[in-house]
Each structure stands twice: as C-alpha cells, then as structure tokens.
C-alpha cells in the first residue's frame, strides 16, 4: 500500500515535470514569440517581470535587457491599443479611473469630461495657487539654519501642497509645518506594492477575493481606499466652503452641472489621481533637475547666466511666472534633459496587441500578447539621442538639427491617447520652482551625494542634500 502510494506520487511528479518541459519547449521553440530574444526564465514564466519589478530597479534592468538582447525583448511568456491586464490592479473596483481604465471607449468618454480642467488654457488660471505655495517654500527654506538641507524632501512637500492647492484650493500644510505627517511613506508603500502586483494580476485577484478572510495584505489597495477617502474628505470640505475658487474642483463641478452622471464620487476619484499620479512624479523630476544641475557646474553657470541677464533686463519676476520661464530657452532645455535621463516612470507601459496581431521590428506578434515600452529605454537609444545619450547635455535640445525629433521621442509623459493629462500642470510647477529657487539661493551639492534610486510603480530618488545660501533679491 505504502509502495503503491509512493509510486503514485512519483507518477504525479513525473507527469508535472513532463508538462513543464513540454511547456518550456513550446515557449522557447514553437510559440509565435519563440524567436524574440530574452532571458530564458522570462520566456517560460510570468513571474520574471513581477520579480524584477519587486527588486526596485526595473527602470535600469529594462535598459540593460535591451542592451543585451536588442530592440524587441521578451520578458514574459505572453508579453497599441488596449491597456493590458496589469492596469486592472491599478483600477480595482473604481468606476472612474483614467489611468487604470482599460476600455478605450470608456476612457475616451471620461477623459473628455475632465480634459478642459487640465488643459494648457487652465494653466494661467491655476498659477496663483502655485505661487502661494512657492512663496511659502522660499520663506521656509530661508529660515533653515542647519546645512546641508534635504532639498529633495522640501521639494516633495512642495509638490504635495501644490496638488492640494490646485485641486481643492487647500494645500495640505506640509510646507508650512515642514512635515508630511507620514503620508509620503504610506504612498511609497502603496507604489512599491503596486509596482510588482501589477505584474501578478492573478495573485491580485485571489488576494482581493480572500480579503474578507485574510484582511488586506497589499499596500497597493490604499490607492482606492485610504487615498480616495482623503480626496473625498477634501472635496466635501471644499463644497462646504464659500468662495470664488480657482482650482480643478471648481472646473469639475461646473462640468457636473451639464453632466450629472459625473457625480461627486467620480470627482473624488479624479482628485485621488491628482494626488497619486501628480505629486511624486513631479517631485522626482525636480530632484533629478537639481541633482544634475548641481553635479555639472558648467551647466549650472550657463543657466545662472541666462537667469541673471533676464533679471537685469526686468524679464524675470520673483516668483518667476510661467510665461517668463517659458521664454528661458536654456532653462527649458535643462528640464527636458533631466526628465529624459530620469523619467519618473520606468516600467513598461503595457498594452494588449489587438486582434489580428502586428509586426514589431520584423517580429510578428499575435493579438492578445502584451507589449510595452519604457521611457528609460527610449530615452537612451543612441540612434535618437546620439553616442552621448547617457550624458547630461541640455544643449542637445537647442541644436537646430534636433528640433522636432527629440520632442517626438520624449516619453516621460507617455504618449498617444493615454498621454499624461497632468503634464501641463507639472510643467507649470517645475518651470516656476527651478528658476525661483535658483535666483533666491546660492546652491552647492553636499559632499559625496549620489542619488539612491528605487522603482516601485514610480521612480523615487533619495538623498538630494544641498547647501543653500539665501541671496538678497
Ligand atoms: C513630471 C510629472 C509627471 C510625469 C512624469 C507623469 C507621467 C505620466 C505617464 C507616463 C502617464 C501615462 C501612463 C500610462 O500610459 O499608463 C501618465 C498618466 C496620467 N497622469 Fe501623469 N505624470 C506627471 C504628472 C502628473 C500630474 C501633475 C497629474 C495630475 C495633476 C497627473 C495625472 C495623470 C493621470 C490622471 C494620468 C492618466 C491619463 C489617462 O490615461 O488618460 N500626472 N502620467
């Protein structure tokens, strides 16, 4: 009896091994994607993508994979169009979610409702909100006596407060108090968790089903619970306050008047996206800009020459206006170049290949396969950016022969119908903050600063310590 059970067990193990080998042979030699190069383990297991995402430096891993395997790399057995299943993890059960919505038709309808509030025209409307946080930031930084300052942290406080200000006319009060009340860590945990759970959607589905019994083990769920509740409370408080508000909430409430189906819950979901998608992305970009500038004194000096000569001719106010900043050509080149080298999202933006399939770089890819690309990879392709693609050289954006090409391949905000809806807002913040801080402070990077990179669903850069000496302006 014992022997019989043993041989039965062996038979099951042998069968499982045969199935695994057949599956691996199929994936490596007979699948329609068999000829696409990539790590062996990625060809046979979807775990590979989730694994490299969990390690925290997927942005660099993807670039290395392309360097090793070429333009098209296979990073899962079944890895433009519809957003892939990984976005369901983002969306959860949320009915209004631009970033997470996979259905193109629903996405287009929802995006149409809110597009105006985020358009270029709305930027001037929101500028006074950014000004108030910026002036407060400069004053707070002037008061700090202990050097070097963790400028990265202050930038993050600024980016959060701006989101509160432009969304609900109420900064969160972080710059004022110099403290984030634990919210950054909570958000970081959520983004860290989302970074890998996105690539394990089956695991996510099972977890969500079991949640009533096992509780919530995934910080990624905070996006649609804790942060949604935070946004809902702010929206509620905002409707209870009187005043002529110049913010996104007021624009969305005016949409609601003609489209009542766009209810308060949907507005709160949109505001959750502002907090979730708009604060850390902007602060990471700002950290990269200051880090690269201060690391390259000749670029810093060139930018200071531009700003100072504009100051002397009265073309630069304090705080700098968006219009003035746009007219600073070297400043704009610096922003593009830093965001090229450190785009805030470095994982693949996954899309399902539509029915009928498509050909990518000579490889036929059948419908249903997930394809994606990463800004970290595109931004380092030498055929586009030249042999010095890894170098910080803002001048490349000013060279006549590159005009057009470079902006076309600038992928920090994604592209197509899913391009970042908040890109004008973050450009407004960045364009104003960088020159304003530079005209108000002399800056020097603290000794031995190297930014620490961690990629969850977004990139984080830690350790921007700077000596800041206030100037008389
Ligand atoms: C430097 C700052 C920012 C960067 C690098 C960035 C990056 C991106 C990228 C790459 C996407 C496309 C994602 C995809 O295809 O899956 C995206 C979408 C989105 N972003 Fe941003 N973002 C930034 C700032 C903001 C701000 C300030 C807001 C809101 C105030 C915002 C809200 C959104 C939303 C709602 C989407 C989804 C859009 C859609 O699918 O229609 N982002 N962002």
The string of pLDDT tens digits covering residues 252-278 is 999 999 998 899 899 999 999 998 889
The string of pLDDT tens digits covering residues 274-332 is 988 899 999 999 999 999 999 999 999 999 999 999 999 999 999 999 999 999 999 99
From the CB of 420, is ligand 1 less than 6 Å away?
yes
Asked if ipTM goes beyond 0.95, one says: yes
CA of 1 to the centre of ligand 1 (A): 63
Give residue 394's pLDDT band: very low, low, confident or very high (50, 70, 90). Answer: very high
Residue ranges of alpha helices (H) inside 169-247 are 174-177, 183-197, 201-214, 226-240
Query: What is the rounded distance in angstroms from the CA atom of residue 80 to the CA atom of residue 83?
Result: 8
* Confidence (pLDDT) at 82: 53
* Structure token pair of residue 31: 């699948």
From the CB of 374, is ligand 1 less than 6 Å away?
no
| Residues 284, 278, 459, 442, Cα dihedral to 10° | 0
Least confident stretch, 24-28, 97-101, 208-212: 97-101
CA of 159 to the centre of ligand 1 (A): 14
CA of 350 to the centre of ligand 1 (A): 15
Residue 445: HSE in the Cβ half-sphere, 13 Å Cα cutoff: 19
Query: What is the rounded distance in angstroms from the CA atom of residue 176 to the CA atom of residue 305?
Result: 31
In terms of Cβ atoms closer than 10 Å to its own Cβ (0-12, 13-18, 19+), residue 370 is buried
Q: Which domains does the chain have, with CATH numbers?
A: 82-343+379-470 (1.10.630.10)
- On average, the pLDDT of the chain sits at 90
Residue 309 contacts residue 330 (beta carbons within 8 Å): no
Q: Which atom of ligand 1 is nearest to the CA of 248?
A: 30
CA of 278 to the centre of ligand 1 (A): 7
* Confidence (pLDDT) at 166: 94
From the CB of 418, is ligand 1 less than 6 Å away?
yes
User: What are the binding residues?
Assistant: 420
Taking CA atoms only, the protein residue closest to ligand 1 atom 1 is 282
* Confidence (pLDDT) at 80: 43
CA of 276 to the centre of ligand 1 (A): 9
From the CB of 320, is ligand 1 less than 6 Å away?
no
> 């790590």: which residue's tokens?
39
* Confidence (pLDDT) at 24: 87
* Confidence (pLDDT) at 100: 77
Q: Which atom of ligand 1 is nearest to the CA of 163?
A: 30
From the CB of 426, is ligand 1 less than 6 Å away?
yes
Find, among 420, 443, 471, 455, the residue nearest to 311 by Cα: 471
The string of pLDDT tens digits covering residues 101-120 is 878 888 899 999 899 889 98
CA of 345 to the centre of ligand 1 (A): 9
> 């905070």: which residue's tokens?
222
Q: Give, for ligand 1, the residue of 191, 270, 283, 420 to mutate: max count of ligand atoms closer than 8 Å to Cβ.
A: 420
CA of 260 to the centre of ligand 1 (A): 26
CA of 86 to the centre of ligand 1 (A): 16
Rounded percentage of the chain residues whose pLDDT exceeds 90: 57
Q: Does position 8 have pLDDT exceeding 70, yes or no?
A: yes
Least confident stretch, 160-169, 185-194, 363-372: 363-372
* Confidence (pLDDT) at 282: 97
* Structure token pair of residue 321: 């206006």
pTM of model > 0.80:
yes
From the CB of 111, is ligand 1 less than 6 Å away?
yes
Q: Does position 84 have pLDDT exceeding 90, yes or no?
A: no
From the CB of 285, is ligand 1 less than 6 Å away?
yes
From the CB of 277, is ligand 1 less than 6 Å away?
yes
The string of pLDDT tens digits covering residues 191-244 is 999 999 998 989 999 999 999 999 999 998 888 889 999 989 988 888 887 777
CA of 311 to the centre of ligand 1 (A): 33
From the CB of 344, is ligand 1 less than 6 Å away?
yes
Rounded percentage of the chain residues whose pLDDT exceeds 70: 96
Q: Give, for ligand 1, the residue of 166, 267, 277, 431 to mutate: max count of ligand atoms closer than 8 Å to Cβ.
A: 277
Query: What is the rounded distance in angstroms from the CA atom of residue 166 to the CA atom of residue 130?
Result: 7
From the CB of 421, is ligand 1 less than 6 Å away?
yes
* Confidence (pLDDT) at 87: 63
CA of 126 to the centre of ligand 1 (A): 18
From the CB of 98, is ligand 1 less than 6 Å away?
yes
From the CB of 281, is ligand 1 less than 6 Å away?
yes
User: What are the binding residues for heme?
Assistant: 420
The string of pLDDT tens digits covering residues 29-69 is 888 888 888 998 888 887 888 899 999 999 999 889 988 98
Q: Give, for ligand 1, the residue of 111, 281, 378, 418 to mutate: max count of ligand atoms closer than 8 Å to Cβ.
A: 281
Q: Which residues fall within 8 angstroms of residue 128, CB to CB, at 6 or more apart?
A: 246
Give residue 86's pLDDT band: very low, low, confident or very high (50, 70, 90). Answer: low
* Confidence (pLDDT) at 154: 98
Helix (H) or strand (E) holding 350: strand 349-352
Q: Give, for ligand 1, the residue of 271, 422, 428 to mutate: max count of ligand atoms closer than 8 Å to Cβ.
A: 422
CA of 337 to the centre of ligand 1 (A): 19
Residue 342 contacts residue 288 (beta carbons within 8 Å): yes
The string of pLDDT tens digits covering residues 356-377 is 888 888 888 888 888 888 999 9
From the CB of 282, is ligand 1 less than 6 Å away?
yes
Residue 380 contacts residue 340 (beta carbons within 8 Å): no
């Amino acid at each position: 009896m014992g022997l019989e059970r043993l041989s039965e067990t062996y038979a099951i193990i042998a069968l499982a091994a045969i199935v695994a080998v057949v599956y691996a042979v199929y994936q490596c030699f007979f699948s329609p994607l068999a000829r696409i190069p990539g790590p062996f383990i990625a060809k046979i297991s979807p775990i590979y993508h989730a694994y490299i995402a969990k390690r925290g430096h997927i942005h660099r891993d993807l670039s290395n994979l392309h360097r090793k395997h070429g333009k098209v790399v296979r990073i899962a057995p079944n890895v433009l169009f519809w957003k892939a299943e990984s976005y369901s993890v983002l969306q959860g059960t949320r009915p209004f979610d631009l970033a997470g919505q996979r259905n193109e038709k629903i996405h287009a309808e929802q995006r149409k409702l809110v597009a105006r509030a985020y358009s270029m025209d709305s930027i001037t409307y929101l500028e006074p909100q950014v000004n108030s946080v910026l002036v407060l930031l400069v004053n707070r930084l002037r008061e700090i006596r202990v050097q070097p300052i963790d400028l990265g942290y202050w930038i993050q406080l600024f980016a959060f407060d701006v989101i509160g200000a432009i969304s609900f006319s109420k900064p969160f009060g972080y710059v004022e108090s110099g403290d984030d009340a634990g919210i950054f860590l909570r958000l970081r945990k959520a983004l860290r968790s989302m970074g890998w759970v996105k690539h394990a959607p089956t695991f996510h589905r099972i977890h969500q089903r079991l949640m009533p019994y096992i509780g919530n083990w995934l910080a990624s769920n905070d996006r649609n619970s804790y942060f949604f509740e935070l946004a809902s409370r702010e929206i509620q408080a905002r409707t209870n306050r009187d005043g002529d508000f110049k913010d996104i909430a007021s624009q969305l409430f005016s949409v609601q008047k003609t489209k009542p189906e766009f209810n308060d819950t949907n507005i709160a979901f949109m505001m959750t996206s502002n907090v979730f998608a708009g604060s850390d992305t902007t602060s990471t970009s700002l950290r990269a800009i200051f880090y690269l500038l201060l690391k390259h004194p000749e670029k810093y000096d060139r930018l200071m020459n531009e700003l100072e000569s504009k100051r002397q001719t009265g073309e630069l106010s304090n705080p700098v206006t968006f219009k003035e900043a746009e007219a600073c050509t070297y400043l704009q080149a610096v922003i593009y170049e830093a965001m090229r080298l450190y785009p805030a999202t470095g994982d693949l933006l996954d899309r399902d290949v539509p029915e009928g399939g498509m050909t990518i770089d000579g490889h036929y890819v059948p419908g249903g396969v997930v394809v994606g690309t990463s800004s970290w990879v595109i931004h380092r392709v030498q055929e586009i950016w030249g042999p010095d693609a890894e170098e910080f050289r803002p001048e490349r954006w000013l060279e006549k022969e590159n005009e057009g090409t470079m902006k076309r391949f600038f992928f920090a905000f994604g592209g197509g119908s899913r391009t970042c809806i908040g890109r004008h807002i973050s450009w407004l913040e960045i364009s104003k903050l960088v020159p304003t801080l530079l005209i108000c402070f002399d800056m020097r990077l603290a000794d031995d600063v190297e930014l620490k990179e961690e990629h969850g669903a977004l990139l984080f850069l830690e350790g921007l310590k700077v000596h800041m000496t206030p100037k008389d302006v």
